[in-house]
């Protein structure tokens, strides 16, 4: 039977995953709310 606590203790995150997370988190991504606010601002002018 698998000892999950033991297996979690052995876990080491992949460097590639950590680098990818950092890149994604630092990107200036726009969501639907941002797009709608821009459209509304354009309509007011």
From 16-20, 24-28, 31-35, 38-42, the region with the lowest mean pLDDT: 24-28
Indicate the pLDDT class of residue 41, thresholds 50, 70 and 90.
very high
pLDDT at residue 40, as a whole number? 93
pTM over 0.75: no
Q: Is 27 helix (H, G, I), strand (E, B) or coil?
A: coil
> Which among 25, 9, 7 is positioned nearest to 17, based on CA atoms?
25
Q: Domain range holding 32?
A: 4-44
User: In the chain, which ranges are E strands?
Assistant: none
Indicate the pLDDT class of residue 7, thresholds 50, 70 and 90.
very high
Mean pLDDT, residues 28-36 taken together: 85
pLDDT in tens, 8-19: 999 888 889 889
How many domains is the chain built from?
Answer: 1
């Amino acid at each position: 039977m698998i000892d999950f606590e033991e297996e979690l203790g052995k876990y080491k995150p992949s460097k590639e995953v950590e680098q990818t997370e950092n890149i994604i988190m630092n990107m200036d991504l726009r969501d639907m709310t941002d797009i709608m606010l821009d459209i509304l601002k354009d309509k007011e002018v």
